[in-house]
Amino acid sequence: MSTLQERVDALSTARLLGMRRGIEKESLRAQPDGRLALTPHPAALGSALTHPHITTDFSESQVELITGAHTEVEACLAELTRIHQFSYRALKEGDERLWVSSMPCGLPADETIPIGRYGSSNVGRAKSVYRMGLAYRYGRRMQTISGIHYNWSLPEVSSEQYFGLIRNFRRNAFLLLYLFGASPSLCSTFVAGREHELQPLGEGSMHMPHGTSLRMGRLGYQSDAQASLAVSYNSLDGYGASLEDALTHPWPAYEAIGIQGPGGEYNQLATTLLQIENEFYGTIRPKRTIFTGERPLHALRERGVEYIEVRLMDLDPFEPVGIRASTMRFLDVFLMHCLLTDSPDDTPAEIAELARNQHLTAARGREPGLKLQRAGRELGLAAWGAELIAQLGPIAAALDAAHGGELHAQAVRDAAAALQSPDSLPSARVLAAMARDHDNSFVSFVRAQSESTREYIDGLPWAEHEQAHFEQMTQDSVDAQQKIEDGDTMPFEIYRQQYVSADRLGLRRRAAVASL
């Protein structure tokens, strides 16, 4: 069995330089007073259905900014910055700003949070109906949580190897929550009427004293229905079978909601445990670029894993675009470690352990002496984290040799220092800033950070040709949406039935076996 160092040494410089990453960043649009903006997606930002870089997530008030895939960290951040610059200019007319925290701003009554709208085409209507289903299933407030998704790939990696990476990532994800979690507090409107373990902090604010990422804890992307899923990542076939089961078997509570209401309005796309694949809330997903109209699971089964999507990163409220270059480099090293180290199959017992570790780290990660579980035994978070970070050196050195400099090694050194200095973590800095300057008010702190971020972005150089380029993308996206709408002839109900059909999930091999 080769050592980690030997596996690193076997990587060619060309392969290391072929590493690609891209970012999808969600942010709520907020009013100056810290309340949710209830206005439609700004027309200046183009069509949320077809724009390649600017769309919405769950809510009409939730902007999602998307970069392409880049081989250089700086190029990825530069593109994300340009998208921000254009977006902020479009928000000026309504005196709105992007909320820089993962946990939402002041929220209105649940039913008044606007769901994303994508036009009159079948695909546009399906996106809205899916979100209506999310609203019925989980409540709209939960869906207003925002984060950064980090899409990552390396050349010459097989589906089997990507699933090995995913298993190791899930085992070690507590370290990312600890180091980069930045949501230890929230506005009390988010938990109004809900049971929770949060402690009151300032007026209208709640927190966990040692929390790191409430977004990834029990208040975040959770549900009793999804808790019943024990998805295995031991193979593409096993993962696909787990998802297929959730996508094809009705769930009693969702059957009670029904597809349509008494007036004919659509409540959800399907009554199954998951309406579509994206409803499965994991900390990491295997991904494959899909063709128009194709189901994601079909794409995975037919063509294998193309890249992975890391989904547990909070917005960093101290960074103008929500993430810093050193964080991205640490993620690159961390993901390489997950790929290159041995990755035994997961088990139901380990899956349960990992869920417990995630919730403990999210709620109490900075608690002195906190212990997690590994293989049935307790192990201190700090000791486990130090063990992991100590193994990252050879990978950081290889990436630095390929790129020049020592920025990856520095990112690892920074993580090692942060592990020993909990007060330096983003989650601790949020609480410290709230106490120091904002009378422990979450909304006051994030309002101030959001305003200073807007001023910083607006002050960056912005060329006329950049503005013209984005304005052309806006117009092109509007034209593309119109073309889709003009080409629709199928009744929506037929479209819906065909889209959620099990036949669309890539079952050709099963059908062939059944026919023998």
Question: By the 8 A CB rule, do 247 and 112 touch?
Answer: no
Torsion of the alpha carbons at 86, 151, 48 and 100, rounded to the nearest 10: -50
> Quick one: pLDDT at residue 221?
64
Q: What percent of the chain has pLDDT over 90?
A: 91
Residue 319 structural domain: 4-515
Question: Per-residue pLDDT for 509 more than 70?
Answer: no
Residue keyed to tokens 């199928």: 490
- When pLDDT is cut at 50, 70 and 90, the band that residue 462 belongs to is very high
**Nearest-angstrom CA–CA distance, 414 and 336:** 18
Reported for 484-489, long-range contacts at CB under 8 A and 24+ positions apart, including other chains, are 484/49, 484/50, 484/119, 484/121, 484/123, 484/124, 485/119, 485/120, 485/121, 485/124, 488/120, 488/121, 488/122
Nearest in space to 326 (alpha carbons), one of 414, 394, 453, 401:
414
Main-chain phi, psi angles of 438, to 5 degrees: -135, 25
CATH code for position 79:
3.30.590.20
Tally the residues of the chain: 516
pLDDT 10s digits, 284-317: 999 999 998 899 999 999 999 999 999 999 999 9
pLDDT 10s digits, 132-180: 999 999 999 999 999 999 999 999 999 999 999 999 999 999 999 999 9
Please name every residue paired with 149 in a beta bridge, in sequence order, or none if there are none. 24
Nearest in space to 51 (alpha carbons), one of 61, 59, 36, 41:
41
Half-sphere exposure of 504 (CA within 13 A, CB side): 18
Q: Mean pLDDT across the chain, nearest whole number? A: 94
Nearest in space to 51 (alpha carbons), one of 460, 484, 496, 486:
484
pLDDT 10s digits, 378-398: 999 999 999 999 999 999 999
> Quick one: pLDDT at residue 507?
56
Q: What is the sign of the dihedral through the CA atoms of 62, 444, 328 and 180?
A: negative
How much is the pTM? 0.96
Can you give the C-alpha Rg of the chain in angstroms?
A: 23
Least confident of 36-45, 175-184, 241-250, 440-449: 241-250
Question: By the 8 A CB rule, do 225 and 199 touch?
Answer: no
> Quick one: pLDDT at residue 219?
81
pLDDT 10s digits, 181-240: 999 999 999 998 888 899 999 889 999 999 999 999 988 766 777 777 878 899 999 999
The residue type found at 217 is G
> Quick one: pLDDT at residue 495?
96
Compute how many other C-beta atoms are within 10 angstroms of the C-beta atom of residue 133: 23
Question: Per-residue pLDDT for 66 more than 70?
Answer: yes
Count of domains forming the chain: 1
**Nearest-angstrom CA–CA distance, 133 and 128:** 9
Torsion of the alpha carbons at 333, 335, 341 and 346, rounded to the nearest 10: 150
